[in-house]
């Protein structure tokens, strides 16, 4: 039996799920967090987020690129887990089960965190950043 350590399914899932989710919604979370810490004002936070969307509010090229990067992060997580798992002497049925669990977990957790951050950032923009932007524009 090999002395290789089996990759942790939970740690791997969390690492790649959270990375993918944050990468996919970076366009909205980054300006909200920077505004929250006083690093950027309301006008700049909205213009930063607007860079990723079209004038009508629909998704722009920047937003789609971030979502593509998020998908690539998830795919890389599955691929690298499979490569790492194949270095270990694990039962083939267990390998298949682990891969299925990993794929389902990465998809579900990534989408859950992404949608939660999207909802939070929309609320934060409407509640805090838009009023600050309007106040800044009046001055």
Q: What is the pLDDT of residue 51?
A: 86
Confidence class of residue 85 from pLDDT cuts 50, 70 and 90?
A: confident
Which has more confidence, 18 or 1? 18
Single pTM value for the model: 0.85
Q: What is the pLDDT of residue 3?
A: 52
Question: Could you tell me which of 136, 138, 108 has the C-alpha nearest to residue 43?
Answer: 136
Q: What is the pLDDT of residue 54?
A: 84
Q: Which residues contact 24 (CB under 8 A, 6 or more apart)?
A: 66, 67, 69, 70, 71, 110, 114
Structure tokens at 129: 């950043």
pLDDT, tens only, 48-81: 888 898 888 788 899 999 999 999 999 999 999 9
Asked if 49 and 63 touch (Cβ cutoff 8 Å), the reply is no
Confidence class of residue 92 from pLDDT cuts 50, 70 and 90?
A: confident
Domain ranges of the chain: 9-138
| Sequential DSSP letters for 33-44 | HHHHTTSS-HHH
pLDDT, tens only, 3-56: 557 778 899 999 999 999 999 999 999 999 999 999 999 999 988 888 898 888
Confidence class of residue 1 from pLDDT cuts 50, 70 and 90?
A: very low
């Amino acid at each position: 039996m090999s002395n290789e350590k089996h990759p942790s399914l939970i740690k791997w899932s969390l690492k790649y799920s959270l990375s993918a989710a944050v990468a996919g919604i970076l366009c909205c979370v980054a300006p909200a967090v920077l505004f929250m810490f006083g690093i950027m004002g309301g006008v700049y936070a909205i213009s930063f987020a607007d860079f990723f969307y079209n004038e009508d509010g629909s998704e722009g090229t920047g937003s789609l690129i971030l979502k593509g990067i998020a998908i690539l992060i998830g795919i890389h997580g599955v691929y690298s887990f499979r490569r790492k798992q194949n270095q270990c002497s694990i039962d083939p049925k267990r390998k298949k089960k682990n891969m299925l669990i990993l794929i389902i977990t990465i998809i579900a957790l990534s989408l859950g965190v992404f949608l939660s951050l999207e909802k939070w950032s929309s609320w934060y923009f409407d509640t805090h950043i838009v009023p600050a932007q309007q106040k800044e524009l009046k001055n």
